[in-house]
Each structure stands twice: as structure tokens, then as C-alpha cells.
């Protein structure tokens, strides 16, 4: 039983640590759905007041979506690679297509959460009903009392209406919920088509075979894992040496002592080396041989960043 539980925890750990784009996007979408549900239950409260309903309803859909989009841009590694690239080298070495695709990759990844939020909000319908109830034309409602207008219609989402208007409130709510859900399903369809077309375009423009592209993805993942793991050990050993130099000794546990003995660190990498392996990278070849990353390119001693007669840019970015 204990072995089974441990195996399940190991599986969940590998699942949540996965760098696969589809899994990552799925987790982001699920987290957004849960957040939207909590927001609707605990935070959404339509003011049911003319002029305020519209602003509040749109804000309930748009402001969280905007915040999620900005967070998505911040969390995307391409964003900071682009900042480093512009700061150190500029984007003059990128073709227009590559630059456009870079921004498209950042925006596309960042749009997963806000689109999910917008879709769920539209399918639920509360925010849409709150925003547009006061704009329903009384003439479109059969036998609606002439003495009532937008002020009463704005109160429909709160169910705070006279008894003789209950039937009209149900009709308005049903009509607006239908419109809201229709827009939600249309948004899902549009996004699905765009994702499909983007995938087709990406694979059509790729000069790599499917197997080489899969190998490139594996290389990037392994390089990133090994680089982070090695950087953590290197920084720990370097810190231990400096602490020992200051105090005359350093308090290490058994594992850290073994690391210090096994991996002697003589110094630190100079800034030019860090700059060489930092920034945006789009697949290139040198004399027919692939260069899978900036680190790979630096290790091979290839100079320059722009395309040359012996190399070419791949018109899509690493995920």
C-alpha cells in the first residue's frame, strides 16, 4: 500500500513538473476555471443600478482577464529573453517573420488564462446579464408596463423586482444568458480554429523533420534541467568557499561536503559568457550542423547571431 501511494505521488510530481506546453496550458486553464468559480461565488455582486451595471459587468470579465494576461507575459521565459536580447544585441539580427513569431509566441502563451476566464464568464452568464440587462428594449417584451424603464431592468439580475414583473425578469435573464453562452461557444470555436491553423503553419514552415524537432525539444528540456541543477550546485560550492574564506570555516552537511570534494570550483564565469548564452534563440545551422541553443552555439565557438550563407533561421520558436 505504501509503495502504491509513493508511486502515485511520484507520478503527480512528474506530471506537475512537466515542461510540456499542452500540459502546462491545461493546468493554467484548470486553475483559471477554479479561480473564476470562486470569484463568482464569493466576490461577484451586481450593483443592480443603471450605468453601474455595465461598468461592473465588463470589469468583472475584462479586468481579471487583463491581470491574467500580464501575469502570463511575466511568467513566460521568452519575455525576459527578449528583454535581454534587446538590451544586449537589439533585434536587428532577427527577420521580420521571426520577430513577429516571437511576439506571437509570448502573446499566445499569455492568452491561455484570460481566454479561459472570458469563456467561463460568458458560459456562466452572470456578468453579461448584469452588464446588459438595463439595455434590453422594453418594447421587445410582450405587455411590459410602460411606466417601468431602465431603472427597473437594471434590478433584474438581483431579483429585486415587483411580483408583477417576475415573468419579464425570467424572460430577460433567459435571453441574455442565451446570448452570453452563444458568445462563449463562438469564442471557443474561434480559439480552436486559430490554434489548429497556428500548429499547421508552424509545422509547414519548419525545415526540420518531425523526429529532429522532437529531438530538439528533448535537448532543450535536458539542457535546461542540467543547467539549473549544475548552477545550483556551482553556486552552493562557490558560496561555501567564500563563506569559509570569511569565517575560516563553513558549516556543511554531509551531502554538501561530498559536493565540495567531488566538484572543485575554481572561479566564476565572466559576464561575456553569460551574455553569450542569454537571450532569444531561434533554430540555426552552421555548415549543415544544427545548433540547438545559445549554449550549444557558444560551446561550438560559433560567432555572431544573424543568419549567414551557411545557416538559416527556423520560422518558429522553441516552446
Residue 295 in domain: yes
Looking at the structure, tell me whether residues 155 and 241 fall in a common domain: no
Q: Which three cell numbers stand for residue 193?
A: 480554429
Residue 163 in domain: yes
**pLDDT on residue 140:** 73
Task: Identify the domain boundary among 184, 205, 226.
Answer: 205
Q: Exposed, middle or buried, 133 (CB in 10 Å: 0-12/13-18/19+)?
A: buried
For the chain, the three-class secondary structure string (H helix, E strand, C coil) is: CHHHHHHHHHHHHHHHHCCCHHHHHHHHHHHHHHHHHHHHHHCCCCCCCCCHHHHHHHHHHHHHHHHHHHHHHHHCHHHHHHHHHHHHCCCCCCCHHHHHHHHHHHHHHHCHHHHHHHHHHHHHCHHHHHHHHHHCCHHHCCCCCCCCCHHHHCCHHHCCCCHHHHHHHHHHHHHHHHHHHHHHHHHHHHHHHHHHHHHHHHHHHCCCCHHHHHHHHHHHHHHHHHHHHHHHHHHHHHHHHHHHHHHCCCCCCHHHHHHHHHCCCCCCCCHHHHHHCCCCCCCEEECCEEECCHHHHHHCCCCCCCCCCCCCCCCCCCC
Q: Rounded distance, CA 217 to CA 24, Å? A: 15
Residue 102 in domain: yes
35: CB partners within 8 A, 6+ apart: 64, 117
Range of the domain at 50: 39-205
Report the SS3 class of residue 306: coil
Domains in the chain, number: 2
The percentage of residues in the chain with a pLDDT greater than 90, rounded to a whole number, is 28
Task: Identify the domain boundary among 190, 205, 220.
Answer: 205
Give residue-wise pLDDT tens across range 23-53: 555 656 666 666 655 655 556 788 888 888 9
pLDDT exceeds cutoff 90 at 235 = yes
**pLDDT on residue 192:** 92
Looking at the structure, tell me whether residues 46 and 152 fall in a common domain: yes
Looking at the structure, tell me whether residues 201 and 59 fall in a common domain: yes
Give residue-wise pLDDT tens across range 138-158: 777 777 776 666 777 888 888
Looking at the structure, tell me whether residues 61 and 162 fall in a common domain: yes
Residue 265 in domain: yes
**pLDDT on residue 185:** 95
Task: Identify the domain boundary among 151, 171, 205.
Answer: 205
Looking at the structure, tell me whether residues 167 and 252 fall in a common domain: no
Q: Rounded distance, CA 48 to CA 40, Å? A: 16
**How far from the centroid of its chain's Cα atoms is residue 188's Cα?**
17
Looking at the structure, tell me whether residues 89 and 189 fall in a common domain: yes
Least confident range from 1-15, 61-75, 215-229, 275-289: namely 1-15
170 pLDDT tier (thresholds 50, 70, 90): confident
**pLDDT on residue 14:** 38
Average pLDDT of the residues of the chain: 79
Looking at the structure, tell me whether residues 49 and 165 fall in a common domain: yes
Residue 48 in domain: yes
Looking at the structure, tell me whether residues 64 and 192 fall in a common domain: yes
Residue 282 in domain: yes
**pLDDT on residue 180:** 94
Looking at the structure, tell me whether residues 177 and 48 fall in a common domain: yes
2 pLDDT tier (thresholds 50, 70, 90): very low
Looking at the structure, tell me whether residues 77 and 201 fall in a common domain: yes
**pLDDT on residue 51:** 84
Residue 310 in domain: no
Average pLDDT over every residue of 225-233: 94
Residue 65 in domain: yes
**pLDDT on residue 133:** 87
Looking at the structure, tell me whether residues 99 and 121 fall in a common domain: yes
Average pLDDT over every residue of 301-307: 62
186 pLDDT tier (thresholds 50, 70, 90): very high
Looking at the structure, tell me whether residues 243 and 177 fall in a common domain: no
Give the pTM.
Answer: 0.70
Amino acid at each position: 500500500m505504501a509503495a502504491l501511494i509513493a508511486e502515485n505521488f511520484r507520478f503527480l510530481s512528474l506530471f506537475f513538473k512537466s515542461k510540456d506546453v499542452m500540459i502546462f496550458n491545461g493546468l493554467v486553464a484548470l486553475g483559471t476555471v477554479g479561480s473564476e468559480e470562486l470569484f463568482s461565488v464569493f466576490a461577484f455582486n451586481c450593483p443592480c443600478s443603471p450605468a453601474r451595471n455595465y461598468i461592473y459587468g465588463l470589469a468583472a470579465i475584462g479586468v481579471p482577464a487583463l491581470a491574467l494576461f500580464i501575469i502570463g507575459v511575466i511568467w513566460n521565459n521568452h519575455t525576459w529573453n527578449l528583454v535581454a536580447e534587446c538590451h544586449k544585441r537589439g533585434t536587428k539580427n532577427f527577420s521580420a517573420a521571426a520577430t513577429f513569431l516571437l511576439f506571437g509566441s509570448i502573446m499566445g502563451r499569455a492568452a491561455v488564462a484570460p481566454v479561459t476566464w472570458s469563456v467561463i464568464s460568458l458560459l456562466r452568464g452572470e456578468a453579461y446579464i448584469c452588464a446588459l440587462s438595463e439595455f434590453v428594449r422594453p418594447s421587445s417584451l410582450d405587455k411590459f408596463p410602460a411606466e417601468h424603464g431602465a431603472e427597473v431592468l437594471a434590478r433584474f439580475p438581483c431579483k429585486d423586482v415587483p411580483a408583477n414583473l417576475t415573468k419579464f425578469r425570467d424572460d430577460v435573464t433567459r435571453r441574455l444568458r442565451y446570448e452570453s453562452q452563444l458568445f462563449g461557444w463562438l469564442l471557443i470555436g474561434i480559439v480552436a480554429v486559430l490554434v489548429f491553423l497556428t500548429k499547421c503553419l508552424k509545422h509547414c514552415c519548419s525545415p526540420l523533420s518531425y523526429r529532429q524537432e522532437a529531438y530538439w525539444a528533448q535537448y532543450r528540456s535536458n539542457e535546461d534541467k542540467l543547467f539549473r541543477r549544475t548552477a545550483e550546485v556551482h553556486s552552493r560550492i562557490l558560496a561555501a568557499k567564500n563563506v569559509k574564506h570569511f569565517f575560516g570555516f563553513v558549516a556543511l552537511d554531509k551531502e554538501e561536503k561530498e559536493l565540495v570534494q567531488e566538484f572543485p570550483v575554481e572561479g566564476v564565469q565572466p559576464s561575456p559568457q553569460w551574455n553569450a548564452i542569454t537571450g532569444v534563440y531561434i533554430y540555426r545551422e552552421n555548415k549543415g550542423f544544427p545548433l540547438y541553443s545559445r549554449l550549444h552555439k557558444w560551446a561550438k565557438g560559433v560567432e555572431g547571431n544573424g543568419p549567414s550563407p551557411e545557416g538559416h533561421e527556423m520560422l518558429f520558436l522553441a516552446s
